Structure 1
Amino acid sequence: MRFPFSAVVGHDDLRLALLLNAVHPGVGGVLVRGEKGTAKSTAVRALASLLPLLDVIEGCRFACDPVAPDPSCPDGPHDAASPSATRPARLVELPVGATEDRLVGALDLERALAAGVRAYQPGLLAEAHRGVLYVDEVNLLHDHLVDLLLDAAAMGRAHVERDGVSVSHAARFLLVGTMNPEEGELRPQLLDRFGLTVEVAASRDVGTRAEVVRRGLAFEADPAGFVAAWESADRDVATRIADARARLGAVTLSDRELRRIAGVCAAVDVDGMRADLVIARAAAAHAAWRGADAVQEQDVRVAARLALPHRRRRDPFDEPGIDDKTLDEAMRSAAENLDDEPEPDPPTPDGPGSGSGPDDSADGSAADGSPADDSAADGSAADGPGADGSAADESGAEGSRQGGSRAGSSAPDRSGADGSGADGSGADGSGADGSQVDGSDAGGSRQADDPVGAAVPAPRPLRLASSAARRFRVPGVGEGTPGRRSRARTDTGRVVRSSTTVPRRAADLHLPATLTAAAPHQRSRAAKGAADRFAVHAADLRSAEREGREGNLVLFVVDASGSMAARRRMSAVSGAVLALLRDAYRRRDKVGLVSFRGGSAEVALPPTSSVPAAQARLATLRTGGRTPLAEGLLRARRVLDAERRRDPRRRALLVLLTDGRATVAVREGGDPVADACRAAGLLAADGVHTVVVDCESGPVRLGLAGTVAGHAGGEIVRLDELTAESVAGVVSRAA
């Protein structure tokens, strides 16, 4: 039994985005971003029960409409005499671990082997047609599945070309994905494929939080009674959805409002034309939802607020979001380009009752055009259903507008180190007392260190050189999480060989090898059975071994000591790490960051799938002090050991950025360089692949980083070979 949609407390933007897609599925779906425990899944599952009943052709696995059946339906052709039935719209959930054949469908292996016929077994896309397809934790879904899913959602059809099967069927559904940004981001080009996005966060208002708990406990104690209490409110919302769907075709979008939409999208500088189309559809759906016959400015503003946040990202590390000030400026800029013709006052028809749906007007008024309940102003939650059966206003002032707390957020402030030498060093790399701080004099000995705790200068945006990118791969073949870095045996990818392992699923069957194995036995088997059949026994089955790419754990170990802290050189190093982080983002890696300086090493960022979090930690990295290289490598070894226990299949890649000048031993009186080499040898014994980025500069180079790389059994790459930009010039000027 599902929690009632009308009983969800707050989350007005989330409920509105879901309802607009229910009114007009062409909007393109909803991506719900938010922290854990914010009722994202609860709201999505509750929506399905509000969708209108469907008329379907009996026996059709693709839910064809009797009035307008799909002419290319694999179960067709259908005609007017085909029997029909009525059923609720389906909510189909796509698990994170789903396979490609489960999503799009595949050859029916049982019928193919038993009856010798080529039959298609539909997948989840077929089941979700005319319903809701829900993907929880969509950011953890394999990239190739996300591509298939969004292509089908955009085209309204699924095309299957695999296992000798060629099928095309209708796949129009309301796509809803939820994600926790802390667990990793979607690629910007995939974000753009979702029509609307909302940011949800738990309310900080005590009354709202108390009401959430009160309703949750009431539902757990008596699910049937709780659902019955909210049945009238949910019925009103369902009726309103049906009315809005019927009205949608008559809603007009004037040229004036169309130009307003184009002006808003141009003002915020979004890429492509998808934003314009989504806003136009969402604005029409919002007008139909509030009972209007024409799109007005308020409809455009609401649609833009939901359609633009995730499309303003110019960089994979940019935070999605659009604040009210930016949106107001875009609306004002768009209005300046319109005609001087006065705009008629928007109609405010009476709705089916405020509170049964979310607060969806542009100015915060209730859905029926009346002012919002004043009780919501202090954030307190309303009571349960009223005597007339309508739901009370549930919105709170705090936390109800999901994007408010995060909209317009940007990368962390990096202004702590400007050109004036805020870190204590001058613009030419000299310290406050005029002493050299980069430690790269002719003899290679270190002079005065940078002030301990100096801020790292803001890194320049750099690109990883293609020649260098090929060197940051783990050798061999792994079995880790699918990604795009190192070779691995995966469930997808190209078939490289067959094995005698029994196939776990139809997609794992290596059909040519199976037939080849069964062929020599056909004469003896024909004598025991039907001579006109090709007999295949269990012992003949062969599995296909596929090879693709995996994502790795990339642990950055950064030397932040005084020898690395010359301002321009550390800026180059930070830019190189940023280039590597971008590469890790594209390859779907897990990343971590260890820094060492002074007398110790610290885990600046525990391994995480959120690559932007690593960028944020890099921006707050402090420099200066001595160089405990051995301690940095030993701390990295402990981090990798802990991660190996959690996820033994994910292979690690350690990227060490240093000039190799160790000055702190593990034990007092020891040899710092020898300790660093021993620590590197321990990493090699653990099977960790290491790439050392040699950051040494100056006319005299000691080659100590190469010595460390040799003991680690890894590769070494020069900093000036790492990025496509001219980092070499930056480093040489810092020397």
Structure 2
Amino acid sequence: MPQHYPFSAVLGCETDALDDMGLALVLTTISPEIGGVLVRGEKGTAKSTTVRALAAVLPPIDVYAGDRFSVDPADPAATSPDGPFGTETETIVRPVRLVELPVGATEDRVLGSLHLERALSHGKVEYEPGLLARAHRGILYVDEVNLLHDHLVDLLLDAAAMGQVTVERDGVSVEHAARFVLIGTMNPEEGELRPQLLDRFGLTVEVAAPREPALRAEVVRRRVAYDADPVAFTARYRDTDRALTERVETARERLAKVRLTESALMKIAEVCATFEVDGLRADIVTARTAVAHAAWEGRDEVTRADIRRAALLALPHRRRRNPFDAPGLDEDLLDQILGDDELPPEPPEGPAPDEPPTSPEDNTQDQAQGDGQRDEAADGDSDQAPATDDTPPESDGEPPVTPPAVTESGSTVRATAPYRPRLLKVQGLGEGAAGRRSRALASTGRRVGARRPDGPTGSLHLAETLLAAAGKQSSRGRTTGRVELRNEDLRVAVREGREANLVLFCVDASGSMAARKRMTQVKTAILSLLLDAYRRRDKVGLVTFRGAEATVALPPTHSVDIAAARLDEVPAGGRTPLAEGLLEAARVLTRERMRDPRLRPLLVLVTDGRATGGKDAVARSQQAAEYVAGLGVTTVVIDGESGPLRLGLALRLAELLRAEHLPVAEVSAEALAGTVRSRTQKGAA
């Protein structure tokens, strides 16, 4: 049996000194209702190693022998599609499973599907369980969850929240339990999750490699020792892992006994309200996390420290309003809200023995007195009421999210607030990863045909299966009666959906584009298209050209927030090396096509069409344009030329590139719609 790296050997995962990542993983295994953990961090920070080691320290579970759905024998209400099971059924004890979900998994693989071969060979409609069934009462791990298609992420999070899965497809109707701990890891440099999906993860932690040389050396020392002798290294940490297992089991037993007092609940609500998180999921998750933390620490009542740790894990990612916001939480403001004093004890039910009950008249009198005191304070000489310990000053909170102002530093101009752009699509029908931009053959969408299946499961296309078998019935000795079906007759549905694309921006940053108003307009258009690319799950890249050369400002990535930051840094000025810009874009597209032939590119060239860089600049730019056109890449030329006198050079360039020509003022969907309405009205007149 392979030896996994011990959980307690990971730096920061010692039982008595868990860091944020270790604590978040432990708390969500104590109380799976928290909703899972999203771990964000740069590459090489032991994210996957820690998650895979977690399953080994969790207490084992009891299951029925032969039950593919792993229901709990101790739960009389638990049912399994493989059941029913009686008291005579054999039970076994097995470790908790860690089920890994590949980024390229299909919906059939996740939910399960009709087993096609058994349906034909045995004539039975048999359900083949998916990964969610296998993960029941265990851990479902998604590495690079930010690259998983949105509808699969929604499916996972819904299953984790509901605790069950219902499958209604291909003549199959199955419902089974699916309670698991969902853990996702991601590198923010490769793209972000949408804020709506971030909110669905209970806890989020940021991890980074230690900067202290001694800690880095210790990590290397442990890894070298593990690689040299995994068995001996694992044995060294067996006792600490066992102690962690016992502590988790004790915390689970204590969980139901932990009291969440009214004062603690009000403090949680105050924290969430002050940080202006959307919705009430944050309050619920923070409360559950605080209760789990109290159980982990061996307490019977939630304290201020429990709320603080819970808020730091449950709130930072819920403060994002748009994809260009960085997650985070102001800890000073959090401490100010929580205060220095411990939470007051739970008040006794009913009036105290030595205190007479309060009459309605007393309540009215107290309220009037309080109103009078407030009126006196309002009428005082001071223009501002004095700050209290419960009211943090405004300067301590984070400012609301506002669009970047149009500022200029030297020759660098920033974009204004983005708008909704028109949809730019790649021509033809692709087969790339699921997304929301161009037409493609996909696992979801409308049915457009049929094909032979790649595996034992899939979405059966019954009509095409029967048609494939119809012409072979005479050779199989059948002329009347039932149709004889064989495996080679099987056909599954081919569906047309949407794919993600590589959107490569090639931006003219020369002096002819450097006018403040023009560059602001261009950068705002690009920022709007970047935001659109984020929503459509595209990969983006940025090439700029000015002076005498072209530069790859950002190699293709899924991180549009980095692209937006690089866009702000692009200066403008100098000559226009148009040919160099086109050729550099061609080199980037060629490299990406070799890496992933299915990823179809969309080249967005932003320029006014002028070519002034170097000798024979115009001729060389025409040759470069013809070369790019020969690549067969869908190209859009966004014309940055404005003003009453226009040379129309970008339009001629678009003709050489066999590209769509789009004035920068028409990038906005609303502006384009207004132009169409205006032209329609003139034609009608």
Fold shared per TM-score above 0.5: yes
Does residue 463 of the first structure (1) align with residue 463 of the second (2)?
A: no
Shift of 1:165: 1.0
Alignment of 1:537-548 (within 5 A): 537-548=486-497
Q: What amino acid is aligned across from residue 343 of structure 1 in structure 2? A: P
Does residue 343 of the first structure (1) align with residue 344 of the second (2)?
A: yes
Q: What amino acid is aligned across from residue 716 of structure 1 in structure 2? A: H
For 1:165 and 1:726, the matched residues in 2 are separated by 48
Shift of 1:53: 1.8
Q: Secondary structure at the residue paired with 1:462?
A: coil
For 1:684 and 1:616, the matched residues in 2 are separated by 30
Percent identical residues: 58
Residue matched to 2:470: 519
Q: What amino acid is aligned across from residue 430 of structure 2 in structure 1? A: G
Residue matched to 1:332: 336
Residue matched to 1:697: 642
Shift of 1:75: 2.2
Q: 1:16 to 1:522 in 2, by over 3 A?
A: same
For 2:472 and 2:499, the matched residues in 1 are separated by 39
Q: Which residue among 664, 672, 681 is the counterpart of 2:626?
A: 681
Q: What amino acid is aligned across from residue 327 of structure 1 in structure 2? A: E
Alignment of 1:336-735 (within 5 A): 343=344, 418=407, 422-423=409-410, 454-456=411-413, 458-465=414-421, 468-469=422-423, 472-499=424-451, 501=452, 503-507=454-458, 509-522=460-473, 525-526=476-477, 534-665=483-614, 668=615, 670=616, 672-723=617-668
For 1:186 and 1:206, the matched residues in 2 are separated by 33
Give per-residue Cα distances to partners, 1:140-174, cap 9 Å, x unaligned. 22322222111111111112122221211110011
Residue matched to 2:7: 5
Q: What amino acid is aligned across from residue 6 of structure 1 in structure 2? A: S
Residue matched to 1:442: none
Give per-residue Cα distances to partners, 1:72-92, cap 9 Å, x unaligned. 532233455544322221111
For 1:342 and 1:14, the matched residues in 2 are separated by 27
Shift of 1:313: 0.7
Alignment of 1:236-315 (within 5 A): 236-315=243-322
8 Å Cα contact 1:318-1:410 kept in structure 2: no
8 Å Cα contact 1:476-1:487 kept in structure 2: yes
Residue matched to 2:167: 160
8 Å Cα contact 1:485-1:549 kept in structure 2: yes
Q: What amino acid is aligned across from residue 578 of structure 2 in structure 1? A: L
Shift of 1:59: 2.7
For 1:597 and 1:520, the matched residues in 2 are separated by 65
Give per-residue Cα distances to partners, 1:234-289, cap 9 Å, x unaligned. 11111110110000001010111111111111111111111111111100000000
For 2:342 and 2:484, the matched residues in 1 are separated by 79
For 2:125 and 2:345, the matched residues in 1 are separated by 61
Q: What amino acid is aligned across from residue 659 of structure 1 in structure 2? A: D
8 Å Cα contact 1:514-1:541 kept in structure 2: yes
Deviates more, 1:549-558 or 1:677-686: 677-686
Q: Secondary structure at the residue paired with 1:304?
A: helix
8 Å Cα contact 1:678-1:711 kept in structure 2: no
Q: 1:133 to 1:506 in 2, by over 3 A?
A: same
For 1:229 and 1:637, the matched residues in 2 are separated by 55
Q: 1:493 to 1:74 in 2, by over 3 A?
A: same
For 1:503 and 1:247, the matched residues in 2 are separated by 48
For 1:504 and 1:114, the matched residues in 2 are separated by 15
8 Å Cα contact 2:465-2:490 kept in structure 1: yes
Deviates more, 1:255-264 or 1:630-639: 630-639
Residue matched to 2:371: none
Residue matched to 1:450: none
For 1:493 and 1:697, the matched residues in 2 are separated by 41
User: What 5-or-longer segments of structure 2 have no aligned partner?
Assistant: 14-18, 347-397, 675-685
Q: What amino acid is aligned across from residue 261 of structure 2 in structure 1? A: S
For 1:609 and 1:191, the matched residues in 2 are separated by 16
For 1:181 and 1:409, the matched residues in 2 are separated by 23
Q: Secondary structure at the residue paired with 1:192?
A: helix
Q: What amino acid is aligned across from residue 59 of structure 1 in structure 2? A: G
Shift of 1:623: 0.6
User: What 5-or-longer segments of structure 1 have no aligned partner?
Assistant: 346-407, 424-453, 730-735
Shift of 1:133: 0.9
Q: Secondary structure at the residue paired with 1:525?
A: coil
8 Å Cα contact 1:462-1:725 kept in structure 2: no
Q: 1:341 to 1:520 in 2, by over 3 A?
A: closer
8 Å Cα contact 1:490-1:548 kept in structure 2: yes
For 1:411 and 1:644, the matched residues in 2 are separated by 38
Q: Secondary structure at the residue paired with 1:244?
A: helix
Give per-residue Cα distances to partners, 1:407-465, cap 9 Å, x unaligned. x99999988x73xx643xxxxxxxxxxxxxxxxxxxxxxxxxxxxxx112x21121223
Q: Secondary structure at the residue paired with 1:699?
A: coil
Shift of 1:101: 1.4
Q: What amino acid is aligned across from residue 431 of structure 2 in structure 1? A: E
Q: What amino acid is aligned across from residue 91 of structure 1 in structure 2? A: L
Q: 1:277 to 1:657 in 2, by over 3 A?
A: same
Q: Secondary structure at the residue paired with 1:545?
A: strand
Give per-residue Cα distances to partners, 1:179-215, cap 9 Å, x unaligned. 1112222122111111111111111111111111111
8 Å Cα contact 1:57-1:66 kept in structure 2: yes
Shift of 1:498: 2.3
Residue matched to 2:386: none
Residue matched to 1:427: none
For 1:478 and 1:727, the matched residues in 2 are separated by 27
Does residue 67 of the first structure (1) align with residue 74 of the second (2)?
A: yes
Alignment of 1:192-271 (within 5 A): 192-271=199-278
Does residue 85 of the first structure (1) align with residue 113 of the second (2)?
A: no
For 2:191 and 2:514, the matched residues in 1 are separated by 31
Q: 1:660 to 1:411 in 2, by over 3 A?
A: farther
8 Å Cα contact 1:33-1:198 kept in structure 2: yes
Q: 1:256 to 1:167 in 2, by over 3 A?
A: same
Q: 1:664 to 1:101 in 2, by over 3 A?
A: same
Q: 1:543 to 1:82 in 2, by over 3 A?
A: closer
Q: Which residue among 123, 138, 144 is the counterpart of 2:145?
A: 138
Q: What amino acid is aligned across from residue 329 of structure 1 in structure 2? A: L
8 Å Cα contact 2:47-2:185 kept in structure 1: yes
Shift of 1:558: 1.1
Shift of 1:525: 2.9
Residue matched to 2:124: 117
Shift of 1:726: 7.5
8 Å Cα contact 1:576-1:723 kept in structure 2: yes
Q: Secondary structure at the residue paired with 1:518?
A: helix
8 Å Cα contact 2:108-2:458 kept in structure 1: yes
8 Å Cα contact 1:267-1:334 kept in structure 2: no
8 Å Cα contact 1:263-1:330 kept in structure 2: no
Deviates more, 1:95-104 or 1:250-259: 95-104
8 Å Cα contact 1:203-1:209 kept in structure 2: yes
Q: 1:411 to 1:648 in 2, by over 3 A?
A: farther
Aligned residues: 616
Q: Secondary structure at the residue paired with 2:57?
A: coil
8 Å Cα contact 2:36-2:182 kept in structure 1: yes
Give per-residue Cα distances to partners, 1:277-316, cap 9 Å, x unaligned. 1111100000000000011111010001011111111111
Shift of 1:136: 1.4
Residue matched to 2:135: 128
Shift of 1:725: 7.1
8 Å Cα contact 1:31-1:197 kept in structure 2: yes
